[in-house]
Structure 1
Amino acid sequence: MKLSIIVPVYNVEQYLPKCVSSLLNQGLKDEDYEILLINDGSTDHSLSLCTDYAERYANIRVFSQPNSGVGIARNKGIDNALGEYIAFVDSDDYLLQNGMYEVLKPIWNRRDVDVVRYFSDYDGRKVKPIVNQIDYDAPALEMIRRGGLPAFIWTFLYRRAFLNENKIRFKNYRFSEDVLFVSTVFLHHPYVVSNQANIYRYVLREGSAINKRNKEHSRICTDHNLLSYEDVMRELMTSIFHEDEEALSACLSSINFKKQSTWTRIFTSDYNRSEFKQLKNRIVKNKFYPFMVWNQEPRVKIQCFLMNLSLYNFCIYKLCSGIFDYIIVPYYINRIKKKVWETE
């Protein structure tokens, strides 16, 4: 079997049919791939939908677990997968028709490829013909030198044997587990083929991470983002890229760029003075703060200066937090939504 597509499922009865329908139309023979639906303690009708799919389609299997988070659900999928390669698809997203066939076709008979990259876009954008063109075919080193560490798990196929040989699994974090996973994969220096095929569609919906900005959610997100950052830094310092100045610099730049997400969560966490002091001590100790520029553009230097200033002390933090939470966040979320929903 060539491919296992792992789909964590949690209370997505409204979105699951479109997702599964797209996965059943990938231009592959049933015996060449499987769809693993991992029910993560859903309380709606998601599990019954999954069971129905498994009864109707021989290449769909269902597993169920108490609600444990998307990372643990994906691990269950990896542990039960049969395919040579593994793909991750979120249950509210979908793939373009025949997308996986186009991605797999160039590497079907090869045995040296550990990771295959493809591309994604937001749902609602005009669908263009899939361009099947290889733009990278080499060990990961040069790709990392060019762009640092990737951030999204859903635009890659992972050779199952590579994950098992290197004991790579998702940590039990509720947030940033995907960033840590894909960073760990690349820090083990896989052989990578990149295909320009743009086949994954990300659906922005109410309830998705970009819309969650309450205090409790932001605090958990901040804590898990910092845990993920600490893990990535440990992996980086023991990887072969630590000895390559250009690759190390690119990795650190990409890590610094990703810190912006945690910075925004700190503002919506609404820490009191004592909590802020504890957080500040933590991010200084683990070298998360002060923020370092991720490129030399004047705009980035100014942004980095403002980010550092905003966490300089508690009074400045509270002032900036109010501005950020009540003015900047609503403006940018609405702007992002408008941009996503506009078709090209």
Structure 2
Amino acid sequence: MDGISLILPIYNVENYIEKCLQSIVKSMKSISNIQVILVDDGSKDSSGEIAQKFAEEHSNFYYVQKENGGLSDARNYGLQYVIHNYVSFIDSDDYIDENYFSEIFAAMRNKPDMIIFDWLDVGDNNYFNTVKGMDNPNFLWTVQPSAWNKVYKKHLFDEVKFPKGKIYEDVGTIYKLINDVKTFFYIDKPLYMYRKNRGGSILTTISPKINNIYDVLEDTYIFYERKNALSEENLDGLCYQYIKLLMWSNMYRQLKYFKLKLFSFYTKMSFTRGLLYNRFPHWKSNYFLKNYPFYFIDRYGKNYVKRIDNLGKSFFSTLSTLALLIARNIRKK
């Protein structure tokens, strides 16, 4: 019988973990073949005690403790205790919808290698915003690189593990797993609640570690190269994610990191543009960019290809494009 093992890394989340655990119990209802693996990653507050007590009171909750090694290390550590054929992950300061398991078990009847679903960004003052799990539900390469809005066949992790010591650890894992995903199922509903403004998340981290995105993307490219798996489809998918992650989301983090030191920012974007051309010389004819441009039109406008190309092309073109994008997105808000 199909079942699911849920891995929950825990580190210094005493203010959030109770709600997370209660949401799991509430979602279980009468479903029995669920295992919850609580990985205490060396918490220094009462998180571990709360989790251990919960495991003592619920027979399908399993508590393990380890030395602190970070989120990736805790997830990898939990994989050794998985007993079911499907596995999922939850961050311990987030929580899940009451229909999480019922929706997932319904999807599991289709025997997919991966199940993907939407989530809610939870902001200040209980602000909620729905985020789609895929830019286009017909193409797996458009999936968002978050570990926790997916369920996986266990065998996908036989070779691929989360990279230790990196932020963007999900990017460095999800797009490798895609190589072995033959079938997937998309649930067009938000089943996960993500605390958007939590401290230490990628969204709030502005440090030299934001450059980890280059490392994990390059490592992913090399992964496909070594497997002789750089098919046209995979190249298009990799290129799509390089553009999304480096020429949009990370671009703004670089701007914040350099604290408006505009020449330093231009230098970084020039390097980024060079990397894009080096890996994907014909990126302008990318399949997703041409046929499903909605993500880019929404952010860059109709002249999205030209504006992407202008970032890092010259100091003037970089700044003029940046000013245009900032003004455009201020108007949208």
The answer to whether TM tops 0.5 is: yes
Change (3 A) 1:35 1:240: same
Counterpart of 2:139 in structure 1 is 143
* CA deviation profile, 1:153-209 (whole Å, cap 9, x unmatched): 212111112322xx1111113311101211011122332122324211111234143
Does residue 237 (structure 1) correspond to residue 225 (structure 2)? The answer is yes
> Percent of aligned positions with the same letter in both sequences?
20
The 2-side partners of 1:287 and 1:301 are apart by 13
> Using CA pairs below 8 Å that are at least 6 residues apart, which structure has the higher relative contact order?
1
Counterpart of 2:175 in structure 1 is 183
Amino acid in the other structure paired with 2:289: N
Counterpart of 1:195 in structure 2 is 187
**Equivalence map 1:229-268=2 (5 Å):** 229-238=217-226, 242-243=230-231, 245-259=232-246, 260-268=248-256
Counterpart of 2:257 in structure 1 is 269
Amino acid in the other structure paired with 1:198: P
Q: Structure 1 regions of 5+ residues with no counterpart?
A: 129-134, 137-141, 340-344
**Equivalence map 1:16-95=2 (5 Å):** 16-29=17-30, 31-95=32-96
Amino acid in the other structure paired with 1:308: G
* CA deviation profile, 1:234-261 (whole Å, cap 9, x unmatched): 1333567633x35532431232111123
Deviation at 1:282, TM superposition (A): 6.8
Change (3 A) 1:197 1:104: farther
TM-score normalised according to structure 2 size: 0.75
Change (3 A) 1:176 1:307: same
Amino acid in the other structure paired with 2:78: G
Aligned CA RMSD, in angstroms, stands at 4.0
Amino acid in the other structure paired with 1:159: K
The 1-side partners of 2:305 and 2:265 are apart by 25
Residues 269 and 312, structure 2, Cα contact 8 Å, conserved in 1: no
Does residue 301 (structure 1) correspond to residue 297 (structure 2)? The answer is no
Q: Structure 2 regions of 5+ residues with no counterpart?
A: 131-135, 291-296
TM-score normalised according to structure 1 size: 0.73
Counterpart of 2:133 in structure 1 is none
The 2-side partners of 1:96 and 1:277 are apart by 43
Deviation at 1:150, TM superposition (A): 3.7
Task: Name the SS of the counterpart of 1:177 in structure 2.
Answer: coil
* CA deviation profile, 1:83-135 (whole Å, cap 9, x unmatched): 21111111111111032112212424x5x42111222122346799xxxxxx9
The 2-side partners of 1:49 and 1:281 are apart by 49
